[in-house]
Amino acid sequence: MTCALTLLAACSSPAAAAPEAQPVWVGEQPDLDACGGLGQISGNGPQAVHAGPGNQHAVIARLQPGTPAWLCDSAGDGQWIGIVHADDPDQDCGVSVAVPTHQPYRGPCRSGWVRATAVQLLAG
């Protein structure tokens, strides 16, 4: 009977929730731009932007190839890139200037994580 109760408890437990979002950090060097590079989304179709570095994190956006993105952070031994991107290509995201302290990006643009293979470096 104990085995049946244990199995029932295991089967009725809620599914594992997605991990908590991980912010993209900017401003590592006080005398350099807040984000060290500029790139664009590459690939043959829309690329997933995740709430943290890893496929286990929720997909928060999908960006088309050619979409510009600031390259600000990295994780997973460089396999994931923390990006900042704007819905409007003319919007200033505030990352092409120095930020005095290392801090999570707080806007006005959107941020998230993409696989490093989904980004082509343009400058930086």
Along the chain (124 residues), what's the average pLDDT of each consecutive run of 10 residues?
Answer: 40 61 90 92 95 96 96 94 93 91 94 96 86
The pTM (predicted TM-score) of the whole model is 0.83
* Domains by residue range for the chain, with CATH: 21-123 (2.30.30.40)
CA distance 65 to 103: 28
CA distance 65 to 70: 14
Residues 105 and 95: beta-carbon distance below 8 Å: yes
